[in-house]
């Protein structure tokens, strides 16, 4: 029973994590390298809802105009990843519950083993 609760808690935590992942901002990361330094650049595109609903009209920042298609593709990828994660969580939940229902409950045999050892020692 304890393993079933841990399994369900793990799946619920994974589900909550995926919801937070879905509603986090879409960010484009670039790495710039020169002979002297290494820099990372980040462009925040906004939430996936704004990007997918307003497609071409959603240009909050002038630096995002040339990256509009990249922002749109990253938003679609985020939705696809989250939906696949939801599907895998649902399938593992279904098969996990099915496994735990069909699992046989084993009895604790330590008392029986102790009684048999005592009987064997008394007959000798």
Q: Phi/psi at 60 (nearest 5 deg)?
A: -75, -30
Cα–Cα distance list, 75 to 7, 45, 46, 118, 123 (Å): 30, 9, 9, 70, 77
For the chain, how many structural domains are there in total?
A: 1
- Cα–Cα distance, 103 to 31 (Å, whole number): 51
Per-residue pLDDT of the chain (124 residues; tens, 9 = 90+): 568 889 899 999 999 999 999 998 888 888 888 888 888 888 888 888 888 887 666 555 566 567 778 888 899 999 999 999 999 999 999 999 898 888 777 777 788 888 888 888 876 5
| Domain that includes residue 38, residue range | 2-123
């Amino acid at each position: 029973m304890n393993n079933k609760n841990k399994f369900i808690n793990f799946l619920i935590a994974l589900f909550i994590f995926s919801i937070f992942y879905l509603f986090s901002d879409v960010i484009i990361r670039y790495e710039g390298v020169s002979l002297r330094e290494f820099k990372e650049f980040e462009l925040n595109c906004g939430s996936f809802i704004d990007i997918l609903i307003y497609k071409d009209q959603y240009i909050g920042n002038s630096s995002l105009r040339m990256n509009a298609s990249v922002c749109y593709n990253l938003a679609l990828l985020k939705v696809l990843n989250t939906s696949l994660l939801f599907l895998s969580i649902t399938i593992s939940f279904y098969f996990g519950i099915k496994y735990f229902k069909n699992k046989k409950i084993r009895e604790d045999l330590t008392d029986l083993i102790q009684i048999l050892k005592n009987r064997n020692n008394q007959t000798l």
